[in-house]
Amino acid sequence: MTQTISADTSAIVAELGGQSSNEVSVMIGIGLVKDSDAVYFQYVGDDKTQALVKDNGTPLTRISPVRFTGVSIADDVYQGSGFSGNKLNVFFETQQQRVVMLTAGLTTIWSQCILGGLLGLVRDGSLDSLVAVDTWKGNSKMKPCFAGIRNNGIKVADESLKSSLNDARADRDYQKVEKILRDTVEILAVAVNTEAVEVAIDQPISNSELAAAAGDF
């Protein structure tokens, strides 16, 4: 998949915040800088990122209106770098038909939240709806990022998935957590009739961080 990355963050923020702008195709990592208030970080080139902030300096925390168009998992994206990790990639389309990819570690709290919201759209039969994607930081020591999907202002989530993940985390069964997430990705991929697109970007959360953040989910 070939994507053109623009370094004009003001145009990107305008586009993702629901304003009109020139054509933008962008890859965004979630919560890449723990000490930053920003939650969305645009990838510029291979190893640089820029925080997405509004004109008044406040972080962009909502991407809207967008439509969910695809999801994939990239496995072992860090092999050969001294460690390995799996990535979740979620694709949305703006009203101007521009593709935005959000990416995070597969087992992060953010990924668990976003998948729960997307599955909620499937359960409600509203997968084609224009939605808002919210991201914010929690208050625990690791400051994990959380996600929410709102359809017509109403937060959408699949409670059965949330309950299953809560139980798996309570048992510290992180292999089960990952299996649940992979199964959910398969359901979503079938629902939108997409093929996997392997794109890897930021570092996944560790099991210790996941355990520390579990109380916030």
pLDDT for 46 equals: 67
In a domain, 1, yes or no: no
Averages of pLDDT over runs of 10 residues in the chain (217 residues) are 41 50 68 93 85 94 95 78 73 89 94 97 95 94 93 96 95 95 95 54 34 34
pLDDT at position 193: 79
Structurally, the chain folds into a number of domains equal to 1
Q: Please report whether residue 3 resides in a domain.
A: no
132 lies in a domain? Answer: yes
Instruction: Please tell me whether residue 84 adopts helix, strand or coil conformation.
Output: coil
Has residue 4 been placed in a domain? no
Q: Give the domain range for residue 109.
A: 9-216
HSE (side-chain half, CA atoms, 13 Å) at 122: 21
Q: Which residue has the tokens 């860090």?
A: 78
142-174 per-residue burial string, b: 16 or more CB within 10 A, e: under 16: bbbbbbbbebeeeebbbeebbebbeebbeeeee
For the purposes of burial, counting CB atoms within 10 Å of the CB of 81, is it exposed (0-12), middle (13-18) or buried (19 or more)? Answer: exposed
Distance CA 196, CA 87 (A): 12
What integer pLDDT is reported at residue 83 of this predicted model? 44
- Is 2 domain-assigned? no
| SS3 of residue 211 by DSSP | helix
Report yes or no: 100 and 91 within 8 Å, Cβ to Cβ.
yes
- Supply the pLDDT for residue 78: 59
Query: How is the chain split among helix, strand and coil, in percent rounded to 5?
Result: 30, 30, 40
Please state the pTM of the whole predicted model.
Answer: 0.77
Give residue 107's identity as a one-letter amino acid code. T
Residue (of 2, 13, 179) closest to 94 by Cα position: 13
